[in-house]
Each structure stands twice: as structure tokens, then as C-alpha cells.
Amino acid sequence: MSPAGTPGSDAQTILDRCDELARESSAAHGITRVYLSPEHARVNAIAAGWMEAAGMTTWQDAAGNQRGRYEAETPGAPAVLLGSHLDTVPDAGRYDGVLGVLLAIAVVDRLHRAGTRLPVAVEVAAFGDEEGTRFGTALLGSRALAGTWDDAWWQLVDDQGTTLRDAFTAFGLDPAAVADAAPPRGSLVGYLEAHIEQGPYLEEADRALAVVSSIAGARRFELTVTGVAGHAGGVPFHRRHDALAGASEIVLAVERLARDAGCVATVGRLQAFPGGVNVIPGLVEASVDLRGEHDAERDAVWEAVLAEAAEVAERRGLTVEARETHSAPAVVASPALRDVVREGIAATGDADPMTLFSKAGHDAMAVAELTDWAMLFVRCGAGGISHHPDEIVGLADVAVALDAFEAAVRALAARTAEAA
């Protein structure tokens, strides 16, 4: 590890810590770390150690998020909340979510080393579930903190048939106490999240940082297409009800309808049953992830998908059912906090920061229900690849992101003091 005390060495520490957390995986190869797993408990403990070394008091909250607080000049003052997530998609990169948590801890570490207390406290939340990998429904950790937990979620099940309720208990949490994850209303002055861009625009523009204008609303569904299994040789085409052939038409319709409407949609998981090479598929289960800058446009795409799926089902003698597993509306960053992030970026020498709209989802979407928010995007290389092991960020970009994030936090603290 580089010597401490310079921005470069802080950035190197952050990258070293990303590597350390990447070792906490349920998979023998690659990184997979899901909500309420043993790996989740381990990264929480590691992050808590780093928070404490940065002068914070720490606790694991009632939803399994790792939290920390660096006290204000006046103890008990409202806090700026910084955060992102420590869970991952299957076979993930090492920076999605993690970089934002570590930048947040590093900002506090700098304040602590400088002996600085701000007019606001600085809290950090390392969210346990943003991706929704384990239970299908995303943002569980940040929605618990936002106080928007839905009791219907207790019955969600993972691939092993474990309910969310049982997973809570196995992790040592009390389902009846989940509301305690939410801070009291009025105790936050805002939420700032740093995150890798997960797209190519910063790299194309040869810039390191951007301020986020808004985040696309996302909906996710589980599609079940039911036909009739049968002999791959014996059943002639005119008598078939092939669930996979029908599902394939629907997959292509999802892509076409979303593209035509300026939205994005992905079928990321598809399974055919019974799965024999010489058996006509009788059942298909598939996921659909659908996003748009405007909720109404995105919802119109879904209605069109359903209509086309019904037509496919009718023509092929299939049934199609859709179950919504996740829904989050599009959110727009608060103008005042956007200005704070712009000020933070400007302090690093970029007088006219780039603004980007995020098609990726973030914990900020959930925290938006609780308080004002804004986000700082950091360039990721290799064309902006993400949700992939090749995810990459540069040392110099992490260094400038840390400077900008610290400057944004200080700017928000100063504005809050001025307004008081």
C-alpha cells in the first residue's frame, strides 16, 4: 500500500480495498456476493473496520446495511448521508457499488486525519442489496433505509426456496424491526452517491467525472410461457405448442419494442423445461428488465410487449403469464445537490462538468423517497463495461473523484451552515 497522506495514495488505498472486497465471493471464480449471505456479513465487518479507522461510530442496521457516523461540530446535528452498495450481480466487476462506498469512507478518513469537524455529521451507508440478485426485487437495503419497506417482500424466495423473512433471521436480523433502519425524518440534509458510470460517455468525451441529472425508472418481470412438452421426432410442426419457440418471438419483441420507443430492455435469464435435447420445451421461464427515462414511455412499452405476447400465445396455442418482481420510478436529482456535486467537480479544475442521465439503477433512487440526492459519476474504462469481470477504473480518476467528492461534501456542509 502507498504511504498515506496524498490524494494518490488515498486512491491507491481505495483500489487496494476494492481488491480486498473482491475476494469475498460465494463463487470459486469471479465475484458473486448477494444480500444476507456469509460474504455479505464478511464485507460488512471489513467495511466497519475501515469506518472505525476513519473515526466513525458504526452499526449494522436493521436491514443488514453497514452504517457509520462521523460526528458534526455539534454532536447530534443533521447528517449528509454518503453511500452505495456492497452486493453484486453474478460474475460481477469489483467497482460497481463498492467504489462509491470506499470513496465515502475515504472522504471521512480525510476529515478525520485533518482533525476537521463539519457543521453537519457525515454518515456512510454500505447497502446490502441494490442489485436484487438474490430475491429478484432490487434496492432492498436502500428501501429499508428510506422507510419504504413493503411487507409483501417477506414472502420473496431465492433460488433455494429460502424466504426473505427466513434469510433475515438466519443473518441475525429481526424482521419485526426492519423499520428501525430508517433514520428519523429531518435528520438528513441530503444523500450523495459516487458510482462508476457503467457506460461509455465519459470515456468518449475524455473526461473523468460527471454529475448525474436523473436515473431511469426500472421494472422487472418474470415471464412464464407454457406449452406442451413432447417428442422431438414424433410431434409434427402443425401439432406443436413449443414454449421456447414462442418465448423466442417474445424476446425479440421485447428488444424491438423497447428500441423503437427509446427505452432499453433485456431478457437476462431464460430457462427451458424439461431441458432434454430431444424433448419439445413445454415450459419457459424468463426475466425481463425494462428501463426508460420517462415512466410513461417505459410502461407503454410493457403494454405493447404484453399485447404482442398474447398474439404469439394465441397463434401458437400457448399461455403467457407475467409477474412483476421490481418497480422503481424514474427520479430527478435535486437541483441544489446537483449544484453541490458540480461545485465539487469544478474544485478539481473542470469548470464545466459533464451531465449524464443514468440508465443504470442506483441506491439513490430509493433514498430519493427520504431526502434530496445527487450523484457523481466516475469514468470506467474499456468502453465503460460493467456487470462484467472486466470492469475497470483508473487510479488518476479515483484520485480526482475523491477530491471532487470531498469538495462536494464540504460545499454541502457550508451551504447547510449558511442556511441555518
Would you say 42 or 359 has its CB closer to ligand GLV? 359
Q: How many CA atoms lie within 13 A of 171 on its CB side?
A: 28
Query: What is the nearest approach in angstroms of ligand GLV to the Cβ of residue 218?
Result: 6
H or E segment and range at residue 70? strand 66-70
Q: Which of Mn ion, ligand GLV, none does 308 bind, CB closer than 5 to 8 A by kind?
A: none
Name the 3-class secondary structure at 76: coil
**154 DSSP assignment:** G
Q: Which of Mn ion, ligand GLV, none does 361 bind, CB closer than 5 to 8 A by kind?
A: ligand GLV
- Report the distance separating Cα 221 and Cα 226, nearest Å: 16
| Phi (first) and psi of residue 19, to 5 degrees | -65, -40
Would you say 97 or 119 has its CB closer to Mn ion? 97
Q: Which of ligand GLV, Mn ion, none does 24 bind, CB closer than 5 to 8 A by kind?
A: none
Would you say 158 or 193 has its CB closer to Mn ion? 193
Kindly list the residues in this chain that would bind Mn ion in the complex (CB under 5 A): 96-97
User: Any bridge partners for residue 67, and if so which?
Assistant: 59, 125
Q: Which of Mn ion, ligand GLV, none does 128 bind, CB closer than 5 to 8 A by kind?
A: none
Would you say 311 or 369 has its CB closer to ligand GLV? 369
H or E segment and range at residue 356? strand 354-358
Query: What is the nearest approach in angstroms of ligand GLV to the Cβ of residue 235?
Result: 39
- Report the distance separating Cα 68 and Cα 52, nearest Å: 8
Query: What is the nearest approach in angstroms of Mn ion to the Cβ of residue 193?
Result: 9
Would you say 196 or 404 has its CB closer to ligand GLV? 196
Q: Which of ligand GLV, Mn ion, none does 61 bind, CB closer than 5 to 8 A by kind?
A: none
Query: What is the nearest approach in angstroms of ligand GLV to the Cβ of residue 327?
Result: 13
Query: Which grid cell is 350?
Result: 473542470
Query: What is the nearest approach in angstroms of Mn ion to the Cβ of residue 85?
Result: 6
- Report the distance separating Cα 126 and Cα 100, nearest Å: 9
Query: What is the nearest approach in angstroms of ligand GLV to the Cβ of residue 138?
Result: 6
> Whats the size of the chain, residue-wise?
420
- Report the distance separating Cα 197 and Cα 129, nearest Å: 19
Kindly list the residues in this chain that would bind ligand GLV in the complex (CB under 6 A): 131, 360-361
Let me know: does 76 contact 91? Beta carbons within 8 Å.
Answer: no
Give residue for cell 425524518. 185
Would you say 166 or 203 has its CB closer to Mn ion? 203
* Pick from 65, 62, 220: nearest CA to 137: 220
Q: Which of Mn ion, ligand GLV, none does 397 bind, CB closer than 5 to 8 A by kind?
A: none
Query: What is the nearest approach in angstroms of ligand GLV to the Cβ of residue 197?
Result: 12
Residue sitting closest to ligand GLV (CB): 361
Q: Which of Mn ion, ligand GLV, none does 391 bind, CB closer than 5 to 8 A by kind?
A: none
Q: Which residues contact 204 (CB under 8 A, 6 or more apart)?
A: none
H or E segment and range at residue 316? helix 295-316
